[in-house]
């Protein structure tokens, strides 16, 4: 694999000991959403990541299409998927959704988000934080407003998360070239593959992202992923995988704002974390912007962001209960439930409710209106 991040002296300038108004650690979905929200605020915003923007995807890169358009990244879409299919050992059920998923190209999406921000970017590996100072492999940088968007490791906060002794799931997928993926985001709930988790196939216009996840972090997912690839007659090539949280954590730690997987914003059960990284990234960015514009102080921003995050805890707790319940259901019962949901009115209600848990309307608030959390 070609390594694109410049090494040593080739890396863009980063002056040890420098100061910024905002330092955002992690330039993926969450960090870039925060940076985008700060565009035009006249602040010195520094984005840090160990890799180049868009260099290293760790997900199947499927998100609700309305969110991609609301974030101005529609041009990164590779394939729109109007259907969802669920396969159990006892059959397949296919739904037409009231909205669609889209698979997208990670690099284009990140570049499109980055282009909407006016933040500086520097390569650095973040090691931790003392007060308002972030420690990196290239020296320290200090800012009154710090954002941890580094994903599940939560590097600015203490304690760091150590799998498998943490409420965290693991996922692994392969990316074969294949045109036979159809027009659905396809999910397999099959204990023969993974006892507590599921498998997926996400078509992406000539590529297919096929993988499995386990809610149990002690269970490996390489063999299940290979097995699903075998069943679908696609090559198990170009592996990528990662851990991701399935329990909400604290939104703030000292003076740091945690966003995306760092705060546990990936939905339990579905493992969908891109939309929520956008959603909470925007919420965090709005609070930071109010500080930069002198409308509130940092302490008020930390409180407001933590309250916004906590307002979503009941929905995350319910989803975690379902994550425990559904794998325990006898497969025939689960199949019957999936069949029972087939009437279009039920599909519209169920998937409409699911989208509303982090609605794309949040990305495009009416001019002058104060954004508020959707009711849960």
Residue ranges that bind ligand FAD, judged by CB under 6 A: 25-31, 48-51, 58-63, 125-126, 149-151, 153, 155, 171-173, 211, 241-242, 244, 260-262, 266, 271-275, 277
Nearer to ligand FAD, 110 or 301 (CB): 110
Min CB(106)–ligand FAD separation in Å: 9
Nearer to ligand FAD, 113 or 302 (CB): 113
Nearer to ligand FAD, 29 or 335 (CB): 29
Min CB(233)–ligand FAD separation in Å: 21
The helix (H) or strand (E) run that includes residue 80 is strand 77-88
Min CB(256)–ligand FAD separation in Å: 14
Nearer to ligand FAD, 88 or 169 (CB): 169
Nearer to ligand FAD, 31 or 327 (CB): 31
Per DSSP, the three-state class of 96 is strand
Which residue of this chain has its Cβ atom nearest to ligand FAD in the complex?
Answer: 273
Distance CA 352, CA 358 (A): 11
Nearer to ligand FAD, 261 or 287 (CB): 261
Min CB(239)–ligand FAD separation in Å: 9
> Mind giving me the DSSP string for 286-352?
HHHHHHHTTSS-HHHHHHHHHHHHHTTHHHHHHHHHHHHHGGGS-HHHHHHHHHHT-SHHHHHHHHH
Give the rounded distance of the alpha carbon of 125 from its chain centre: 20
Min CB(57)–ligand FAD separation in Å: 8
Min CB(179)–ligand FAD separation in Å: 19
142 CB-near residues (< 8 Å, 6+ apart) = 17, 18, 19, 20, 23, 132, 133, 134
Min CB(296)–ligand FAD separation in Å: 25
Nearer to ligand FAD, 23 or 149 (CB): 149
Give the rounded distance of the alpha carbon of 223 from its chain centre: 24
Nearer to ligand FAD, 49 or 190 (CB): 49
Is the distance from CB of 44 to CB of 144 less than 8 angstroms?
Answer: no
Nearer to ligand FAD, 25 or 338 (CB): 25
Distance CA 189, CA 327 (A): 8
In angstroms, the Cα distances linking 349 to 292, 313, 344, 345 are: 40, 22, 9, 6
52: left (phi over 0), alpha (psi -120 to 50) or beta: beta
Distance CA 218, CA 232 (A): 26
Min CB(104)–ligand FAD separation in Å: 9
Min CB(33)–ligand FAD separation in Å: 8
Alpha helices in the chain (DSSP H): 29-37, 65-70, 106-116, 222-231, 274-292, 298-310, 313-325, 331-340, 344-356
Distance CA 245, CA 131 (A): 25
> Mind giving me the DSSP string for 32-50?
HHHHHHTTTS---EEEEES
């Amino acid at each position: 694999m070609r390594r694109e991040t410049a090494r040593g002296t080739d890396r863009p300038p980063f002056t040890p000991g420098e100061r910024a108004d905002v330092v955002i650690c992690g330039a993926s979905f969450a960090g870039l959403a925060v940076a985008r929200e700060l565009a035009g605020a006249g602040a010195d915003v520094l984005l840090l990541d160990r890799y180049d923007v868009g260099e290293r995807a760790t997900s199947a890169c499927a998100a609700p299409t309305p969110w991609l358009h609301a974030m101005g990244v529609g041009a990164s879409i590779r394939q729109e998927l109007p259907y969802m299919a669920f396969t159990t050992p006892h059959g397949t059920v296919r739904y037409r959704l009231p909205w669609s998923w889209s698979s997208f190209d990670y690099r284009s999406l990140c570049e499109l988000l980055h282009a909407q921000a006016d933040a500086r970017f520097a390569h650095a590996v973040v090691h931790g934080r003392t007060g308002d100072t972030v420690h990196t492999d290239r020296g320290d940088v200090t800012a009154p407003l710090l954002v941890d968007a580094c994903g599940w490791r939560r590097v600015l906060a203490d304690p760091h998360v150590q799998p498998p002794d943490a409420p965290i799931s693991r996922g692994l997928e392969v990316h074969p070239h294949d045109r036979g993926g159809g027009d659905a985001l396809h999910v397999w709930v099959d204990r023969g593959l993974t006892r507590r988790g599921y498998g997926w196939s996400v078509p992406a216009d000539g590529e297919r992202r096929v993988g499995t996840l386990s809610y149990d972090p002690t269970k490996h997912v390489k063999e299940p992923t290979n097995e699903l690839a075998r069943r679908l007659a696609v090559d198990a090539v170009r592996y990528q995988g990662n851990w991701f949280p399935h329990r909400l954590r604290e939104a703030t730690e000292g003076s740091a704002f945690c966003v995306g997987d760092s705060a546990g914003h990936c939905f339990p059960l579905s493992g969908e974390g891109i939309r929520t990284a956008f959603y909470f990234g925007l919420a965090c960015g709005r609070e930071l912007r109010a500080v930069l514009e002198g409308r509130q102080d940092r302490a008020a921003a930390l409180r407001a962001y933590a309250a916004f995050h906590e307002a979503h805890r009941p929905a995350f707790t319910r989803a975690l209960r379902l994550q425990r319940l559904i794998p325990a259901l006898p497969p025939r019962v689960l199949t019957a439930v999936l069949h029972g949901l087939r009437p279009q009115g039920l599909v519209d209600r169920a998937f409409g409710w699911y989208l509303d848990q982090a609605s794309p309307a949040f990305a495009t608030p009416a001019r002058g209106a104060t954004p508020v959390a959707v009711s849960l």
